[in-house]
Amino acid sequence: MADLLSTSVSGLLAFQQALDVTSNNIANASTPGYSVETANLAEAPGQFTGVGFVGSGVDVQSITRTYNEYLAQQVRGSQASYSSSNTLATQASQIDNMLSDSNSGLTASLQSFMNSLQSVASTPTSTAARQALLSQAQTLAQRLTSYDSQISQFGTQLESQLSGDVTQINTITANIASLNQQIAAESTNGQTPNQLMDQRDQLVTQLSKYVSVQTTTESNGAMDVYVGTGQALVTGSTAAKLATVAGAYDPSHLDITISGGGGTAADITSEISGGELGGLLSARSQVLDPARNAVGQVSAAVATIVNQQQQAGMDLTGAQGQPMFTVGGVQVLPDGNNTGSASLSVTRGSVSALTTDDYKLQYSGGSWQLTDMATGKSVAMTGNGTSATPFQAAGVSIVTNGAPASGDSFLIQPTAAASAGFAVSLTSPAQIAAASLVQGTAVSTNKGSATVTSASVTNPSVWTPGTYTVTIGAGSAYTVTNSGGTTVASGTYASGTPISFAGAQLTLSGSPASGDTFTVGPNNPANTGDSSNILAMASAMSASALNGNTTSVTGAANGLVSQIGVITQQAQNSAAAQQTVSQQATTALNNSSGVNLDKEAATMLQYQQAYQAMAQVIQASNQMFTSLITAIHG
pLDDT tens per residue, range 46-88: 776 767 667 677 888 888 788 888 888 999 999 999 999 999 9
Beta bridge partners of 271: none
More confident residue, 633 or 329: 329
Number of H helices, E strands in the chain: 10, 31
Give the contacts of 449 (CB within 8 A, at least 6 positions apart): 510, 511, 512
The CA distances from residue 254 to 156, 289, 290, 411, in Å, are 10, 13, 17, 15
Q: What is the structure's pLDDT at 1?
A: 42
| Reported confidence tier of residue 45, pLDDT bands at 50, 70, 90 | confident
Tens digit of each residue's pLDDT (9 = 90 or more) over 400-448: 999 999 999 999 999 999 999 999 999 999 999 999 999 999 999 999 9
Distance of CA 566 to the CA centre of its chain: 13
Position 576, amino acid: A
Residue 24: the pLDDT is 87
* Closest CA relative to residue 596, chosen from 41, 74, 35, 33: 35
Distance of CA 532 to the CA centre of its chain: 43
Contacts of 382 (CB under 8 A, 6+ apart): 391, 392, 393
The residues near 249 (Cβ < 8 Å, ≥ 6 apart) are 333, 334, 335, 336, 410, 411
For the chain, percent helix, then strand, then coil, each to nearest 5?
Answer: 45, 25, 30
Residue 395 DSSP SS3: coil
How is the chain split into domains, by residue range? 4-66+594-633, 71-286+552-586, 438-522
Average confidence score pLDDT of the chain: 91
Task: Report the percent of the chain where pLDDT is more than 90.
Answer: 74
Q: What is the pLDDT of residues 113-133, one digit of tens each?
A: 999 999 999 999 999 999 999
Burial-class residue 281 by CB neighbours within 10 Å (0-12, 13-18, 19+): buried
Residue 285 has pLDDT above 50, yes or no: yes
DSSP letter (8 states) at residue 191 = B
Residue-wise pLDDT for 594-626, tens only, equals 888 888 788 888 878 877 887 887 777 777 767
pLDDT of residue 305: 96
Rounded mean pLDDT, 507-527: 94
Could you report the per-residue pLDDT of 297-324, keeping only the tens digit for each? 999 999 999 999 999 999 999 999 999 9
The span from the CA of 80 to the CA of 578, in Å, is: 9
Give the CA angle between residues 464, 465, 471 to the nearest 5°: 90
Question: What do you get for the CA distance between the two ends of the chain, in Å?
Answer: 28
CA distance 171 to 161: 15
- For residue 261, pLDDT over 80 is answered with no
Strand-pairing partners, residue 241, are: 259
Give DSSP secondary structure letters for 255-286.
EEEEE-TTPPPEE-GGG--SHHHHHHHHHIII
The C-alpha atoms of residue 503 and residue 479 are separated, in whole angstroms, by: 15
pLDDT confidence tier of residue 628, bands split at 50, 70 and 90: confident
What is the full DSSP assignment across 406-462? Answer: TT-EEEEESSTTTGGG-EE---SGGG---EESEEEEE-TT--S--EEEEEEES-TTT
